[in-house]
Chain A
């Protein structure tokens, strides 16, 4: 009698623990955030390029803070449009707001006719400007920068 009583409670808690285990092993699968940090991938790139070249774009302020996108030479579109590389959910950003593209070894930012403008450090971007490492680019409420 006492045994069955305790036994059932133990089994009930085992169910809770099993459910928590499922949740734990599933934590990253749903968010997709883990994918940005595949270690093997980054290392191979490091050897391919010099250590000074920017290798990722990091969001430092705004709703998407912490998001990282690795750079592989293809241009990066930023805006509210669904097909942008960095989709901003920000009322102050335009549908197609700005583009980062690589020429030679440098990255350039250009404004795609946005309403509220794109700022590199303090300067408004009117023509394609070279983006140095670690310089903030402000788009609406979001700030991004390039890091090596």
Chain B
């Protein structure tokens, strides 16, 4: 909130050159974006060629067509940005394109590894790479539609409470609905099954709730900065202002208990805390929130076996390797990462069929095995650049709502990556959550493309030249004005 806003220029009184003069119009940098996108598409094509080579499949021109089709897909997204958000940030879309493309290649690679596998229950491995391509295309359509219809991110603030309600319902729905609509898959009750489609409403709820919190905090910010008692060098908030924090905490705990979904619960509460911190600049909120969350987590650990399992698996996965619901998954993921080592096994040369849930929760472990530490670090850096550009746009944008929303969105992606990579590498207990843009999953991909569109919209409004204020009619000084004789009314 307190970032130095460049209020000086563009207004009368400051002799700073205004951005609006044609000579100083900031570059839109759309060309840079296109070059970077081509680079990303080239890398993805190369990755696909390597996978096919290492799997000893016949190479054909088809791969080049696939690469070109991929470039075409993102070229359309690029044209949408060029048309509807010309000043958007040039680094965000290429990063997303590369992450999504690598995700597609790795999903295809896992399909190849598992081709023809028959599971103990008699079902055959179902290749999903093509479905993910369709989801990517739909995601990009949604992305373009968001850019087209949301001409100003401040429009969202008006529907803050509506979004909040819808988001809350979407988040809680799978937890309270009966099992035939909301089945429990892999121990988590986060899915809604409508006909042939399974959707994960929590992914969309994440964005809706962020919009709500940003709008809510902007309108009620004064409340939260009112100081209460001072304690240990912190200004504690007044007890009655804690309501929203307790509400968020309650929702997070309910998600943890009803849906058995630790990841979403942690993600949701983390986002609320960061938004509160960004809005108020008070460390006290973070300390209080973390205290509340740790308290809740400890109680949940005492009460629920599925939480106890996760923690035990985290403390020593290999000791619990043989147990049902034990450390098998994390152990296999660690073995994969160890096989990869520094330089990796090479794309297509690893053994991802050994890693469970390889194309969703553990996709980063597969990437770690095949690209090694070096490639994995590059991947994390790409996420970092994405988040960095998001935060940068949030700092540069001029309105408080945009700042909060942009900061929240960028942080959400960052935090989600932390939760999933932390779980895969045994830094924190594993909590099934998707890796943004990499994992297989339609809901996650669609929601994340909407998120990218929102970030691009905010960055476009941050980088666009300010419109020159309307020149006020210049009134001559009092002394220069004509004197008019007015007759006194009789």
Q: Which of A15-53 contact B (CB under 8 A)?
A: 15-16, 18-20, 22-23, 26, 29-33, 35-36, 38, 41, 45
Asked whether B225 lies within 8 Å of A91 as measured between CB atoms, the reply is yes
For residue B395, which residues in chain A have a CB less than 8 angstroms away from its CB?
31
Size range of the chain B interface in the assembly? 35 or more
State the CA gap A17–B26 with chains docked (Å). Answer: 23
In the complex, residue of chain B having the shortest beta-carbon distance to the beta carbon of A55: B15
Asked whether B15 lies within 8 Å of A12 as measured between CB atoms, the reply is no
State the CA gap A13–B344 with chains docked (Å). Answer: 14
Asked whether B11 lies within 8 Å of A19 as measured between CB atoms, the reply is no
Q: Is the contact region of chain B dominated by helix, strand, or loop, or is it mixed?
A: helix
Asked whether A15 lies within 8 Å of B463 as measured between CB atoms, the reply is no
Asked whether B13 lies within 8 Å of A9 as measured between CB atoms, the reply is no
Asked whether A30 lies within 8 Å of B378 as measured between CB atoms, the reply is no
Asked whether A26 lies within 8 Å of B29 as measured between CB atoms, the reply is yes
Total contacting residues, chain A, CB less than 8 A: 48
Among B3, B15, B26, B29, residue most surrounded by chain A Cβ atoms (within 10 Å): B15
For residue A15, which residues in chain B have a CB less than 8 angstroms away from its CB?
36, 39-40, 43, 98, 378, 382
Q: From residue A124, how far is it (CB to closest CB) to chain B in Å?
A: 24
For residue B385, which residues in chain A have a CB less than 8 angstroms away from its CB?
16, 19-20, 23
A-B contact count (CB 8 A): 157
Asked whether A69 lies within 8 Å of B14 as measured between CB atoms, the reply is yes
The segment out of B87-95, B193-201, B411-419 that lies at the interface is B87-95
Asked whether B396 lies within 8 Å of A31 as measured between CB atoms, the reply is yes
State the CA gap A98–B312 with chains docked (Å). Answer: 62
State the CA gap A18–B91 with chains docked (Å). Answer: 9
Q: What is A's interface to B at a CB cutoff of 8 Å?
A: 1, 4-6, 8-9, 11-13, 15-16, 18-20, 22-23, 26, 29-33, 35-36, 38, 41, 45, 63-72, 74-77, 83-87, 89, 91
Q: What is B's interface to A at a CB cutoff of 8 Å?
A: 1-9, 11-17, 19, 24, 26-27, 29, 32, 36, 39-40, 43, 46-47, 50, 53-54, 89-91, 94-95, 98, 222, 225, 343-344, 346-347, 349, 371-372, 374-375, 378-379, 381-382, 385, 388-389, 392-393, 395-396, 400, 459, 462-463, 469
Q: What are 5 residue pairs bridging A and B, where the CB atoms are less than 8 Å apart in the complex? A: A15-B98, A22-B32, A64-B4, A64-B7, A67-B6
